[in-house]
Each structure stands twice: as structure tokens, then as C-alpha cells.
Amino acid sequence: MESDRVPDDPGATMYQMWAEHDPAVEQPSLLWHVITKDDNAKSLCGRLLGAPSVSGSDLVQAESFCGPCMTSVRQAMAQPAAG
């Protein structure tokens, strides 16, 4: 997921996403998390990430985004760029 900042901005930020099967939903569903920049095994919401799910699987009926991860990204993007 790319930030809203323009690409030539030296403070531009890039975030990686991670999909896992959503344990809260009975139907096959993916839940997307945002990976922390300092630890690829952890999401911004604090969840330890397991094995990745294959995006686009025929078995997946729905996809959603982790609310706490998205809130963290919005807060980071609202802060002025350092520099």
C-alpha cells in the first residue's frame, strides 16, 4: 500500500500488506494487515503474522482490512513529513 504523499517527496513512505485467513468469519475470507517497518513478523496492530494466504484464491469469498492497522497508517500519514 503506497502512501498519499507524492513519490518525489523524500519523506514518502511505503507500507507492505499481509493477508491471512480471517478467523472471525466462517466463510473463506482474507484479513489484510499492515506490516511494521522494523519487524516483518508483526503487524501495526501488534498481531504476530503466520503463514501468508494466497491472494486471489478461488476459495476466498470476501476480503477486509484490519481496522487498527488502517488507523495507524492514517495517523502516520497525517503527521507532517520530517525534514
pLDDT of 33-65, one tens digit each? Answer: 999 988 888 999 999 987 766 655 556 788 899
Q: Which domain holds residue 48?
A: 17-78
In a domain, 7, yes or no: no
In a domain, 4, yes or no: no
Structural domains counted in the chain: 1
In a domain, 9, yes or no: no
In a domain, 47, yes or no: yes
Model-level pTM?
0.69
In a domain, 6, yes or no: no
* Distance set, CA 67 to CA 10, 25, 74 (Å): 28, 15, 11
- With CA atoms as reference, report the closest residue to 52 among 23, 19, 25: 19
In a domain, 63, yes or no: yes
Q: Which residues of 52-69 are buried (b: 16+ CB within 10 A; e: fewer)?
A: ebeeeeeebeeeeebeeb
The pLDDT score that the predictor gives to residue 24 is: 83
In a domain, 83, yes or no: no
